[in-house]
């Protein structure tokens, strides 16, 4: 539960607003029923039920966009109705709604909701004692909305930067291991649902430590960057490349069977042999490849590819080794 709140910002805002509404509105709803103000009590109850339902829906389905829209719309419209029914004291309920809209929906929708709420109160006019108070309220509502917009916009940019740093390898610009774990889970789930075949290729640069030791880490970094560029140029847009760690990479391919996979990997090997260079000469790469088996877990799939890569390294490097449990015998190993 706490992990979801930490990783899903909109869900955390919906939850915070839901809890705040329960703690803040419930006493007023009870008080108004006790005072005989049935209409105001029913309005408060309707607001609580709508926000509570959206909160439960967000937690159950994970759909925070629809839930956010419901909560934002309910908070704004509810504050307007409370202001009309209760009068001047009800105006204060609109301010938290004006702030939270920018965290629950996109900026255009938030602006529309805020403007509509303020205009509706001004057109009705019953909540204000004078025109001066009405225009003062409109001015302060505008300032609050503008500040909330700026803060929400900066918060969105910062979260995007943090997400980028958390999922992208800074040297090569491709996705990192954290992203890989998520994408492999999705691939396994999609394969079980649709039957689409997937293949996993682990790539390891041969004698990479020697390149770093003899020519420096700058040259080693350039080799990694060149490898990524060549792989991206010679694979499909639907294929995904991840940096697994150090000089090791993972290539996720969809819609490939044993024969087509053998052709793809052989082509990649030839391209890398032809174009991968460093000051000391040619750079070669070892491959461990595994087709996803029906009902197989990510860990098992990755372990078979890793075992195939280990075999490629142990039996001479610059080789392609296919995990044998799901490949035709003639495709188990491929060499120069």
Q: Which of 192, 247, 293, 314 is labelled catalytic?
A: 247
β-strands 248-254, 285-291 pairing: unpaired
Cα end-to-end span (Å), the chain: 52
Q: Which residues contact 2 (CB under 8 A, 6 or more apart)?
A: none
Q: What is d(CA 166, CA 176) in angstroms, rounded to the nearest whole number?
A: 8
247 is catalytic: yes
Q: How many H helices and E strands in the chain? A: 12, 8
List the one residue out of 276, 331, 279 whose CA is nearest residue 308: 331
C-alpha to C-alpha distance for 243 and 224, rounded to whole angstroms: 10
Name the DSSP class of 255: S
Instruction: For residue 309, give both structure tokens.
Output: 């890569």
CB burial class (10 A; 0-12, 13-18, 19+) of residue 58? buried
So which residues are the catalytic ones?
247
């Amino acid at each position: 539960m706490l992990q979801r709140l930490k990783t899903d910002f909109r869900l955390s805002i919906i939850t915070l607003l839901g809890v705040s509404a329960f703690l803040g509105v419930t006493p007023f709803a009870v008080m108004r029923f006790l005072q005989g103000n049935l209409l105001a009590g029913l309005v408060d109850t309707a607001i609580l039920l709508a926000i509570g339902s959206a909160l439960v829906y967000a937690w159950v389905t994970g759909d925070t966009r629809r839930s956010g829209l419901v909560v934002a719309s309910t908070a704004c419209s509810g504050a307007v109705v409370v202001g009309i029914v209760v009068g001047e004291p009800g105006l204060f309920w609109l301010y938290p709604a004006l702030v939270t809209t920018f965290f629950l929906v996109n900026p255009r929708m938030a602006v529309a909701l805020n403007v509509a709420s303020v205009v509706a109160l001004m057109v009705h006019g019953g909540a204000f004692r004078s025109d001066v108070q009405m225009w003062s309220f409109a001015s302060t509502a505008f300032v609050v909305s503008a500040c909330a917009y700026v803060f929400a916009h900066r918060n969105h940019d910062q979260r995007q930067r943090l997400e980028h740093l958390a999922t992208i390898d800074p040297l090569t610009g491709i996705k990192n291991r954290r992203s890989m774990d998520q994408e492999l889970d999705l691939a396994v789930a999609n394969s079980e649902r649709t039957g689409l075949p997937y293949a996993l290729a682990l790539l390891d640069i041969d004698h990479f430590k020697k390149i770093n030791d003899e020519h420096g880490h700058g040259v080693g970094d350039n080799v990694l960057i060149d490898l990524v560029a060549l792989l991206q140029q010679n694979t499909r847009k639907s294929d995904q490349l991840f940096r697994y760690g150090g000089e090791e990479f993972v290539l996720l391919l969809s819609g490939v069977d044993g024969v087509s996979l053998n052709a793809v990997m052989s082509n990649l090997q030839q391209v890398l042999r032809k174009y991968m260079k460093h000051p000391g000469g040619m750079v070669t790469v070892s491959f461990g490849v595994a087709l996803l088996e029906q009902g197989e877990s990510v860990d098992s799939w990755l372990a078979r590819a890793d075992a195939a890569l280990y075999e490629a390294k142990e039996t001479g490097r610059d080789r392609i080794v296919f995990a044998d449990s799901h490949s035709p015998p003639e495709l188990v190993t491929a060499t120069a």
